[in-house]
Chains A and B, each alone.
Chain A
Amino acid sequence: MVRVRLGFSRMAYGMTPGLYAMGTPTPDSPVLVTANYKLTVDVLRRELGGRDLWILVLDTANVNVWCAAGKGTFGTAELVGRVAATGLAERVTHRQLILPQLGAPGVAAHAVAKETGFRVVYGPIRAKDLPAFLDHGELATPEMRRIGFPLLDRLVLAPVELRHYLVPMLVVALVLGALPGIIQGQAGELVSAGGHGIAAALATWLGGCLLGPALLPWLPGRAFWVKGAGLGAALALLLAAAGMVQGLLPILGGVLWIGAGVSFLFMNFTGCTTFTSQSGVKAELRAVPGQIVAGLAGLALWSLDWWR
């Protein structure tokens, strides 16, 4: 079944899988394969507007190409099945499918060729390179094949991280904000040490979820737990410089627990990056016991400030 929708003007959030015509394609027009994630299809539509193409949309349960390829839903079986279900071989005279390069973890090109007769060509990583790719004999330059992790891509993910850790941060802020008042016999009041605790919780959260991603290339170390620990320690010293925590032991405590907190949060940013390996992250997880010990010891030292 072919659904011809000029311009894709009325798409639902998750696109129905199938074969779509973009513009007025002929049996000779290229076939591009993508995921049924609305944002992905939107990007294709934007970058390829004005061209005549076939778009074969796979059922990835509304997940983007790279995530879906990792899970195998953007995969060989789905592609082979979708080629058959759409009767693609009768719609086009050529035998070539253009897949996004980031779909490759899920698709075995040689198996697709064997089962469908269609040859798989992996296109560029970024949709914005598709026009150049199509105009130059379907050849991708080495630059088109390499993934980076520029500032904008890192910051786009920050809101997700911030929201993910919002509740834990609020809990920590509430405890650190309320305990000093209770200890000082002013339960329910926000004493200055309590205010400083809330500021520290906020700094930890923003450090791990926003500052860390923004400063990623410049933070010393390669392991994310190291980068995060350094950033957290620096933030703790900034709080001390601002007079928010005084005395050697409470300052040391702040360095320890804020360092441990940012270290842990930033370690969890590995899943958002484009270059961390599973083996590397497994190695990083050995830092977790140390983070817990440093966090608890740091909080104990920090709390010495509450009796001032």
Chain B
Amino acid sequence: MALRYLANVVTLQLDEAACVGCGRCAEVCPHAVFAIQDRRARIVDRDACMECGACARNCPVAAISVDAGVGCATGLLNRALGRKGDCCCSEERGNECTTTK
């Protein structure tokens, strides 16, 4: 069962005119957000994007932009309250998140 998160919230943008069709974005995306059609990348499932930033980081022509970050309420609350710790990867919680993010 594919889990779906909120609709129409993600910051992912693709400049299709700048795309060279290398296919890296489709290769690295863990949620099949991209498809290569007519030798150009297309966003085919924007709402599945989790904003990990892998596509933008690996795009050789910087055609993709996304406000990448970890979708973690604990981390965002800590940041809002001026506390340290960015979610499961923080010092406090060590290496405990092993299987996912």
Chain A residues with a Cβ under 8 A of chain B = 37, 39, 62-64, 66-71, 101-102, 104-110, 122, 125, 140, 142, 145-149, 153, 156-157, 160, 164, 216-217, 222-224, 267-268, 270-285, 288
Contacts and interface: CB of A to CB of B under 8 A. Distances in A.
B67 A125 contact: no
A105 B88 contact: no
Contacts, number: 172
Given A105-B54, A281-B76, A62 B100 contact: no
Interface of B: 1-7, 9-11, 24, 27-32, 48-54, 57-58, 60, 67-77, 80, 86-89, 93, 95-101
Nearest to B71: A276
The 4 A-B residue pairs with the shortest CB-CB distance in the complex, in nearest-first order: A271-B72, A276-B71, A278-B69, A104-B54
Specify which of B1, B57, B60 lies most central, judged by the most chain A CB atoms within 10 Å of its CB. Answer: B57
A110 B95 contact: no
Given A107-B58, A276-B5, A278-B70, A67 B101 contact: yes
Chain B interface SS verdict (over half): loop
Contacts of B99: 153, 156-157
Given A64-B98, A146-B31, A277 B50 contact: yes
Contacts of A69: 54
B58 A104 contact: yes
Contact of B32 (A71, A108, A142, A268): A142
Contacts of B87: 271
B73 A277 contact: no
Nearest to A276: B71
Contacts of B86: 71
A12 to B, nearest CB: 14
Nearest to A120: B58
A275 B3 contact: yes
A64 B72 CA distance: 17
Specify which of A71, A216, A273 lies most central, judged by the most chain B CB atoms within 10 Å of its CB. Answer: A273
Contact of B70 (A70, A122, A140, A148): A70
Nearest to B49: A277
Given A217-B3, A271-B88, A278 B97 contact: no
A54 B3 CA distance: 36
Given A104-B28, A157-B100, A223-B6, A271 B80 contact: no
B51 A278 contact: yes
A222 B75 CA distance: 20
B9 to A, nearest CB: 4
Specify which of A104, A149, A222 lies most central, judged by the most chain B CB atoms within 10 Å of its CB. Answer: A104
A69 B4 CA distance: 23
Nearest to A125: B30
A39 B50 contact: no
Contact of A102 (B24, B30, B71, B76): B30
A183 to B, nearest CB: 33
A107 to B, nearest CB: 7
Contacts of A148: 2-3
Given A102-B30, A222-B7, A280-B5, A273 B71 contact: yes
B57 A106 contact: yes
